Structure 1
Amino acid sequence: MNNTERFLSIYQEKIHREGADKLLDYLRTGTDFFTAPASTRYHGAHEGGLLEHSLNVYDCLCDILARPRMKEVYGLSYSDESIAIVSLLHDVCKTNFYKV
């Protein structure tokens, strides 16, 4: 599974709130989200870097929140939908901004 397929799978499995389908359609057809770099000089400064970075943030957040200490000591517990939204979409403002 490539990064685009993985993103779409996670998005469609986890995000179900009103408007999610419209946002996904916009990301697919109105932006360069799946091919854009995440930056011009730092992390993900290559074609597809924004998508790769977003998936890395998703993986890291899932790993951190899965630790027992996060729930037991800090009381952190979030829905799968919230985790997917904040991690996968945290840099959506970078679409149609950077060029490779």
Structure 2
Amino acid sequence: MARTLDVIGEKWSLLVLRDLFRKGALRFQELERGLPGVAPNTLSARLKTLEKSGVIAARLYESHPPRYEYYLTDKGKALGPVLKALHKWGETYGQP
């Protein structure tokens, strides 16, 4: 469990994964808009951590300046049941 939490055990990381599951590949600005309150440097750091862990990947969509969109890898897609279980728990037991 500790190894999993090292990768996804932070609020913004989980919310990034949630949005990628729901919406598919997203650009930085799209992720930022969907996560009110996240600082750009925090989002950037979470994306780098998730990418380094192989949970997401980035592909270039514009070269000048370089801009990327982020998407789930197979390793990231394997987290689907975990995220669904967290969502269900929150719906059942979370604070209103």
| Same fold per superposition (TM over 0.5) | no
Normalised by the size of structure 1, how large is the TM-score? 0.33
Which structure has the highest strand share of the two? 2
Which structure has the highest helix share of the two? 2
Instruction: Indicate the structure (1 or 2) with the bigger Cα radius of gyration.
Output: 1
